[in-house]
A and B are shown apart, each in its own frame.
Chain A
Amino acid sequence: MLTRLVILLFALVVAATGCRSQSGKPKVAFVSNNAYDFWTFAQKGAEKAAAENDVELEFKKPQESSVEAQQQIIDSLIVRGFKGIAVSPNLPQNALAYYKDKVSSKVALVMADNDLPDPAARKCYIGTHNYRAGRSAGEFVKKAFPKGGKVAIFVGRIDSPNAVERRQGVLDVLAGKDLKDMDKTTPPDATDLDLGNGYTLIATKTDLGEVQKCQAHAEDMLVKTPDVNCMVGLWEYNPPAMLRAVQGSKNAKKPLIVAFDENPDTLKGIRTGEVVGTIVQDPYEFGYQSIKVLAKIIKADGKEDVLKNWPNITSNGSIFVAHQMITKDNIDAFEKKVKEILGK
């Protein structure tokens, strides 16, 4: 019995190693921070860039949204001889030393979607300007409730930089602060906070990425604070969960929703008028630009600074990919573009 098991394991190992590609092209990888659908778009963009720039791509989506899972993948990519890695880091402020000491010294490192606190630790950052995206969401709230109102925010985790920045963007717009970049942060556990201009932040509810928990939070809020005017969902799955809670509520006056990302239910909510609008990022471009940058850096082999004249790069090495505000007016064109990317 044991012998058979050993033979079976050996066969599996041989089969797995036999799957390795021997193309001879430089190898680059993209490591996302979780396995959500959002990254499917990034993968499509990365695949296109890999084909155009003649590099071999491996796209990794870790099961858990944790620092450990991500670092384990990156360590093995380095051992396997990858020349460049694009990463959407989990908890970048805590993992800075790892990226600085163990990754960027060995491979070309690009950050996508979430940046490291120290720009010197990576070649460049490619992603949304989350604070400005948050401000755009705040504009949606203002447009729907120009005279003020009660606002609640829903997100998976509030220790993620993109969540912090988006939330602050929303709150600063409502408070009437005209800023280009994030200044101070409002305490994450602030409740019933008077923001000024007639707006009140009821609470920021976190659900650790669990859809059912987000929906339960929204349902309970509709019972506890039935006069909530607007619910803002900062991560992709939040708005659909909030929408289901609103649809199931028996309240006479139902709140409107402001969303992030392009979940099909969110888009449907825009058509029915239950969702004011959604802020969409361009993950396809994150993937495309990241792999393109990595390919160019690897091919230059240190002989030239390819990022020096890269289009739209800022002084601290950030390449911001523009976000879009989707409403009833431009939803058709947007959905057409999404279908084209996914090849449907």
Chain B
Amino acid sequence: MKKLIGIFGFMLFLVFLILEATDRERWGDNLFNNGQRIGLAGILCIGAGLLIITGGVDLSIGSVVGLCAVIFCWLILDLPVLAQKHLGMDIYVPVPLAILGVLLSGIVIGIVNGVMVTYLRVQPFVVTLCGLFIYRGLARSLRGDNVPAIREHVEDLSSFFKGDFLAVPTYIWLLLVLASLVTVFLHMTKYGRYFFAIGSNERAARFSGINVDLYKILAYVFCSLFAAIYAVMYVIHYNTVQPSNTGNFLELYAIAGAVLGGCSLRGGEGTTVGMLIGASILVMLPTLANMWGVRDTLEPTIIGGALLACAVLDEFLRSRSKT
């Protein structure tokens, strides 16, 4: 936990700056908005973080989000029409069933990625980079690039999630539930320890009898499953999907959030708390830029610079704590 002090301090500093730049009467609104965004972004960072701990990487996360979001809409809007047209059957796909379908799709994608990496021994970078193109193409083809009119089907869920419980956004509660489950898995079960062992030294893990391939596949499944959960929440929150665009570059944010939160790209390191802090920083930096009225053209530079400063500060504090 000592390792997280630097980025935790940076996160608190960001909260302070955001509140300082906001009228006092709107603090609540601002924190609520950011809470909702962190609730969403955190899901992706946890998925990416789990995989990074095993030494893997997934560049297809954004496209998986796009594809899963389109599948969600396709199941609700198009499948009944197709069943009627080709089979003469009247079917209705309720939203919970569609969500289940999306989560299963995420699992299947994870298995495909994992099997390619483990059994076919293709580099994770190559497998998931190809996946980035393949899944985006599938997302675009499934509904012929049409933006689905999904709003009325998810309106009830939308209003539920836009609400709060004990003044904390529902999205944050969902994230906390997911994060708790992952924390238990990662830090309190032997399977979680296998993840760290594989990431630290894959060869040693293999020689010590761990079924490395199985757990690596499991890590890819987790990553794609969390991307699928994010896709469902995306549709519920934004009520829209652009097959060609939804999820673009999210893999970079997810990986950046996880790494910022203490996951080492070499594997073997990371905590769920760190991933959540990383996700929060990624969300709050653009908010701060907006609150300060930073010009849009300069915003990416400010965000990139702040992230770099955060990484340097973190490294400095870590090296000091070692000495």
**A interface residues (Cβ-Cβ under 8 A, vs B):** 34-37, 39-40, 61, 63, 158, 188-189, 191, 203-206, 209-213, 215-217, 219-224, 226, 237, 240-241, 244, 248-251, 263-265, 268
Measured between C-beta atoms, what is the minimum distance from A316 to chain B in Å? 32
Q: With A61-B244, A191-B293, A226-B26 as given contacts, are A219 and B33 in contact (CB-CB < 8 Å)?
A: yes
Task: Identify which of residues 215-271 in chain B touch chain A, using a CB-to-CB cut-off of 8 Å.
Answer: 234, 238-240, 242-246, 248
When chains A and B are docked, how far (Å) is the Cα of A40 from the Cα of B151? 20
When chains A and B are docked, how far (Å) is the Cα of A191 from the Cα of B33? 23
Q: With A223-B26, A224-B290 as given contacts, are A61 and B239 in contact (CB-CB < 8 Å)?
A: no
| CB-based contact A216/B287 at 8 Å | yes
When chains A and B are docked, how far (Å) is the Cα of A206 from the Cα of B23? 24
Q: With A219-B33, A265-B240 as given contacts, are A189 and B295 in contact (CB-CB < 8 Å)?
A: yes
Measured between C-beta atoms, what is the minimum distance from B7 to chain A in Å? 22
Measured between C-beta atoms, what is the minimum distance from A81 to chain B in Å? 25
| CB-based contact A211/B22 at 8 Å | no
| CB-based contact A189/B297 at 8 Å | yes
When chains A and B are docked, how far (Å) is the Cα of A221 from the Cα of B293? 9
When chains A and B are docked, how far (Å) is the Cα of A213 from the Cα of B140? 21
| CB-based contact A223/B33 at 8 Å | yes
Q: List chain B residues, Cβ under 8 A from A237.
A: 240, 242
Q: With A35-B145, A217-B290 as given contacts, are A224 and B29 in contact (CB-CB < 8 Å)?
A: no
When chains A and B are docked, how far (Å) is the Cα of A248 from the Cα of B32? 10
| CB-based contact B22/A223 at 8 Å | yes
Instruction: Output the nearest chain A residue to B234 by Cβ-Cβ distance.
Output: A212
8 contacts between A and B (CB under 8 A): A189-B295, A204-B296, A216-B33, A220-B33, A223-B22, A223-B29, A224-B291, A244-B238
CB 8 Å contact bits of B17-49 with A (1 = contact, 0 = none): 000011100101110010001000000000000
| CB-based contact A224/B149 at 8 Å | no
When chains A and B are docked, how far (Å) is the Cα of A36 from the Cα of B144? 10
Measured between C-beta atoms, what is the minimum distance from B20 to chain A in Å? 13
Instruction: Output the nearest chain B residue to A251 by Cβ-Cβ distance.
Output: B29
Measured between C-beta atoms, what is the minimum distance from A175 to chain B in Å? 22
Q: List chain B residues, Cβ under 8 A from A204.
A: 296
Instruction: Output the nearest chain B residue to A205 by Cβ-Cβ distance.
Output: B296
Q: With A35-B145, A220-B291, A223-B26 as given contacts, are A211 and B296 in contact (CB-CB < 8 Å)?
A: no
Q: With A237-B240, A237-B242 as given contacts, are A61 and B290 in contact (CB-CB < 8 Å)?
A: no
Q: List chain B residues, Cβ under 8 A from A203.
A: 293
**B interface residues (Cβ-Cβ under 8 A, vs A):** 21-23, 26, 28-30, 33, 37, 136-137, 140, 144-147, 149, 151, 162, 234, 238-240, 242-246, 248, 286-287, 290-291, 293, 295-297
When chains A and B are docked, how far (Å) is the Cα of A321 from the Cα of B28? 47
Contacts A212-B37, A237-B240, A240-B240 aside, 10 further interface pairs with beta carbons under 8 A come to: A35-B244, A36-B244, A191-B293, A211-B242, A211-B246, A213-B286, A217-B290, A220-B33, A221-B290, A244-B239
When chains A and B are docked, how far (Å) is the Cα of A313 from the Cα of B272? 63
When chains A and B are docked, how far (Å) is the Cα of A221 from the Cα of B286? 12
| Most B C-beta atoms less than 10 A away, residue of A63, A191, A251, A268 | A63
When chains A and B are docked, how far (Å) is the Cα of A217 from the Cα of B290? 7
Measured between C-beta atoms, what is the minimum distance from B43 to chain A in Å? 13
| CB-based contact A250/B29 at 8 Å | yes
| CB-based contact A265/B239 at 8 Å | yes
Instruction: Output the nearest chain A residue to B290 by Cβ-Cβ distance.
Output: A220
| Most A C-beta atoms less than 10 A away, residue of B22, B240, B243, B293 | B240
Q: Which of A209, A210, A220, A248 contacts B162 (CB 8 A)?
A: A248
| CB-based contact B296/A189 at 8 Å | yes
Measured between C-beta atoms, what is the minimum distance from B15 to chain A in Å? 14
Measured between C-beta atoms, what is the minimum distance from A212 to chain B in Å? 6
Q: Which of B28, B140, B248, B286 contacts A216 (CB 8 A)?
A: B286
Closest 6 CB pairs of A and B: A35-B244, A220-B290, A37-B147, A189-B295, A219-B33, A206-B296
Measured between C-beta atoms, what is the minimum distance from B70 to chain A in Å? 12
When chains A and B are docked, how far (Å) is the Cα of A191 from the Cα of B293? 8
When chains A and B are docked, how far (Å) is the Cα of A22 from the Cα of B137? 26
When chains A and B are docked, how far (Å) is the Cα of A222 from the Cα of B23? 12
When chains A and B are docked, how far (Å) is the Cα of A220 from the Cα of B292? 10
When chains A and B are docked, how far (Å) is the Cα of A119 from the Cα of B244? 31
Q: List chain A residues, Cβ under 8 A from B239.
A: 240, 244, 265
Q: List chain A residues, Cβ under 8 A from B297.
A: 188-189
Q: With A189-B297, A203-B293 as given contacts, are A215 and B238 in contact (CB-CB < 8 Å)?
A: yes
When chains A and B are docked, how far (Å) is the Cα of A213 from the Cα of B40? 13
Q: List chain A residues, Cβ under 8 A from B146.
A: 37, 40
Q: List chain B residues, Cβ under 8 A from A222.
A: 29
When chains A and B are docked, how far (Å) is the Cα of A90 from the Cα of B144? 22
Measured between C-beta atoms, what is the minimum distance from A186 to chain B in Å? 14
When chains A and B are docked, how far (Å) is the Cα of A61 from the Cα of B144? 10
Q: List chain B residues, Cβ under 8 A from A37.
A: 145-147, 242
Measured between C-beta atoms, what is the minimum distance from A203 to chain B in Å? 7
Q: With A224-B291, A226-B26 as given contacts, are A212 and B238 in contact (CB-CB < 8 Å)?
A: yes
When chains A and B are docked, how far (Å) is the Cα of A209 from the Cα of B240? 13
Measured between C-beta atoms, what is the minimum distance from B146 to chain A in Å? 6
Q: List chain A residues, Cβ under 8 A from B37.
A: 212, 216
Measured between C-beta atoms, what is the minimum distance from B140 to chain A in Å? 6
